[in-house]
């Protein structure tokens, strides 16, 4: 179910039955010369779509909310097309959206993040929300970090606009990828030197990996593995919630069948 496709009476009927809402979060930013500016949104939106479908097959309904497009993207702001939102404004905005979702009654908000610069502001937004909404849990999933093992089963390397991300976009929106312009290299930096034009050094050409080994087939494998893992984790958590509420309502029930 997509939140934006429901009428408000539909939503009213749905919200009491659905515990989990998936919120894709990304950025509009430069991704090498070969990937679209919307890369960091396309990937989490597709993962959310797959997770929802996998869960539906298990009989679990979740709601997918429209994505947060603009993110915090300081270092890549030196490249054309990047739209950088100050970290504090981004954190506050995401927290407000989550607050609304929590007030609608959702117990679990899954932030499916596609962009590195968003990680710390999202942690803060989550912490601020749960300080005031005790019954809500916020999941922060950074797909390219949290499922690195799965990714390295498929790819030889990963990085911004690199083999993994390029593969994923080739699987989702091949018509937007310019593989003839795909070139880059891994830049290693041990410490972070913050300066206005740091993006030129850290991410020369708005890339930090060699994307030439990317393929749609690899992207499909990554999307499949990551979506399965996330769906499995949500299903597990939902069954725990089910057994909690079953034992709440019937204190005599034992937990054999949970």
Residue 17 Cβ vs Zn ion, minimum distance, rounded to whole Å = 34
State whether the Cα torsion 29-31-36-42 is positive or negative: negative
Nearer to Zn ion, 60 or 171 (CB): 171
Residue 31 Cβ vs Zn ion, minimum distance, rounded to whole Å = 5
Distance CA 208, CA 187 (A): 6
Binding status of residue 40 toward Zn ion by CB under 5 A = yes
Longest dimension (CA), the chain: 66
Nearer to Zn ion, 40 or 52 (CB): 40
Number of residues interacting with Zn ion: please give it, by CB under 5 A. 2
Stretch that binds Zn ion, among 16-24, 32-40, 171-179, 207-215 (CB under 5 A): 32-40
Residue 186, both tokens: 């891994």
Nearer to Zn ion, 60 or 151 (CB): 151
193 burial type by CB count under 10 A (0-12 exposed, 13-18 middle, 19+ buried): exposed
Stretch that binds Zn ion, among 39-47, 101-109, 172-180, 186-194 (CB under 5 A): 39-47
163 neighbors 155 (Cβ within 8 angstroms): yes
Binding status of residue 209 toward Zn ion by CB under 5 A = no
Nearer to Zn ion, 39 or 158 (CB): 39
Nearer to Zn ion, 117 or 126 (CB): 117
Binding status of residue 164 toward Zn ion by CB under 5 A = no
Distance CA 207, CA 187 (A): 9
Give the CB-side neighbour count of residue 246, counting CA atoms within 13 A: 12
Residue 231 Cβ vs Zn ion, minimum distance, rounded to whole Å = 22
180 neighbors 166 (Cβ within 8 angstroms): no
Residue 44 belongs to what H/E stretch? helix 39-57
Nearer to Zn ion, 126 or 159 (CB): 159
Give the N- to C-terminal CA distance of the chain in Å, as an integer.
27
Residue of minimal Cβ distance to Zn ion: 40
Residue 160 Cβ vs Zn ion, minimum distance, rounded to whole Å = 6
Residues that bind Zn ion (CB under 5 A): 39-40
């Amino acid at each position: 179910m997509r939140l934006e496709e429901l009428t408000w009476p539909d939503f009213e009927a749905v919200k009491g039955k659905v515990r989990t809402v998936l919120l894709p979060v990304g950025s509009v930013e430069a991704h090498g010369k070969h990937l679209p500016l919307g890369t960091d949104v396309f990937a989490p939106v597709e993962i959310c779509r797959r997770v929802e479908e996998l869960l539906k097959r298990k009989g679990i309904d979740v709601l997918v909310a429209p994505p947060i497009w603009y993110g915090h993207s300081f270092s890549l702001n030196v490249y054309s097309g990047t739209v950088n939102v100050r970290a504090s404004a981004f954190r506050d905005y995401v927290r407000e959206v989550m607050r609304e979702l929590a007030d609608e009654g959702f117990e679990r908000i899954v932030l499916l993040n596609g962009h590195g610069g968003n990680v710390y502001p999202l942690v803060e937004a989550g912490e601020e929300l749960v300080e005031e909404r005790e019954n809500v849990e916020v999941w922060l999933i950074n797909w390219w970090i949290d499922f690195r093992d799965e990714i390295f089963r498929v790819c030889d390397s990963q990085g911004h606009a690199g083999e993994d991300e390029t593969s994923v976009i080739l699987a989702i929106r091949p018509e937007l990828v310019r593989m003839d312009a795909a070139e880059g290299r891994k830049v290693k930096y041990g410490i972070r030197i913050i300066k206005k034009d740091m993006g030129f050094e850290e991410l020369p050409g708005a890339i930090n990996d060699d994307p030439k080994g990317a393929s749609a087939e690899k992207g499909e494998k990554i999307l499949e593995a990551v979506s399965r893992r996330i769906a499995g984790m949500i299903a597990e958590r939902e069954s725990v919630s089910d057994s909690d509420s079953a034992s709440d309502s019937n204190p005599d029930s034992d937990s054999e069948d949970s």
